[in-house]
């Protein structure tokens, strides 16, 4: 779970837009466009009661730019969920056994810091003992997962390598997609907060545990 705290965003491939050569079919296609308000994670499926945030004036679900941004949002949200989960496991005292390598030596010697000492508390200092070669392995692993083993090029289709099937009921499938998008958004905000805490060193404990009030006393019950 240690590598989950190292989040890197890998690019999402744009889906090809379907175009027709004659003007008449284009009109028919335009009339069949799905409104962006009906897209998973948008409108009432995103933040009910608030207008849909659409600064790029995307036309709908079949807009190539919408597909591109949606895929990036999905991937970033998934990485953030992994990162927050990794930090939560660390805070709960759940660690991999043993030690990491001080250098990239084979066979593995386990002569570096223990997994239990990395990322606890969640701060820049506790990740410092990881050597450059260790970070290189982290990013290489994520690149392999994203671009080869579980590559996904269309936000509307499951990534290759996913063995479980999606629900046959369209409404159930849409509900699961809404949950994934919204949970990913919350996780992105949460992980940004964790990174801010780590960079400032103000809130070392998970999360907000023992945060002092303005006069320096702990929040009652959180001591």
**pLDDT score of 50 more than 60:** yes
What pLDDT sits at residue 223?
A: 45
What pLDDT sits at residue 111?
A: 82
- Among 93-102, 122-131, 162-171, name the most confident range: 93-102
**pLDDT score of 94 more than 80:** yes
**pLDDT score of 91 more than 60:** yes
**Furthest-apart CA pair in the chain: how many Å?**
71
Which residue(s) pair with 218 in the sheet?
Answer: 212
Give 160-174 pLDDT, tens digit per residue: 877 777 788 988 988
**pLDDT score of 154 more than 80:** yes
Question: Strand, coil or helix: what is 60?
Answer: strand
Mind giving me the DSSP string for 153-190? Answer: --TTSPPTT--SPPPSSHHHHHHHHHHHHHHHHHHHHH
> How would residue 88 be classed by pLDDT, with cut points 50, 70 and 90?
confident
Q: What is the mean pLDDT of residues 128-148?
A: 88
Q: Whole-model pTM?
A: 0.71
Task: Quote the DSSP letter at residue 36.
Answer: G
Nearest to 206 by CA among 86, 38, 103, 113: 86
d(CA 124, CA 86): 15
> How would residue 131 be classed by pLDDT, with cut points 50, 70 and 90?
confident
**pLDDT score of 122 more than 90:** no
**pLDDT score of 32 more than 70:** no
| 51-55, 59-63, 215-219: least confident range | 215-219
Q: What is the mean pLDDT of residues 77-97?
A: 88
Nearest to 42 by CA among 70, 65, 64, 71: 70
Q: What is the mean pLDDT of residues 104-111?
A: 78
What pLDDT sits at residue 17?
A: 28
What pLDDT sits at residue 183?
A: 94
């Amino acid at each position: 779970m240690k590598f989950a705290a190292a989040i890197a965003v890998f690019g999402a491939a744009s889906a090809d837009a379907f175009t027709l050569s004659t003007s008449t079919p284009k009109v028919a296609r335009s009339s069949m466009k799905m409104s962006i308000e009906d897209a998973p994670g948008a409108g009432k499926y995103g933040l009910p009661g608030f207008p849909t945030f659409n600064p790029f004036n995307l036309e709908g679900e079949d807009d190539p730019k919408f597909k591109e941004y949606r895929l990036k949002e999905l991937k970033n949200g998934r990485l953030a969920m992994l990162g927050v989960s990794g930090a939560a496991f660390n805070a709960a005292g759940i660690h991999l056994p043993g030690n990491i390598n001080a250098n990239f030596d084979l066979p593995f010697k386990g002569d570096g810091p223990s997994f239990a000492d990395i990322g606890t508390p969640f701060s820049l200092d506790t990740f410092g003992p990881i050597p450059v070669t260790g970070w290189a392995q982290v990013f290489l692993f994520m690149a392999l997962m994203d671009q080869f083993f579980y590559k996904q090029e269309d936000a509307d289709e499951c990534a290759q390598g996913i063995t479980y099937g999606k629900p046959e009921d369209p409404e159930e499938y849409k509900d699961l997609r809404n949950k994934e998008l919204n949970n990913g958004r919350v996780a992105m905000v949460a992980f940004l907060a964790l990174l801010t805490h780590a960079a400032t060193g103000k809130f070392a404990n998970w999360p907000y545990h023992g945060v002092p009030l303005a006069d320096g006393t702990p929040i009652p019950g959180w001591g």
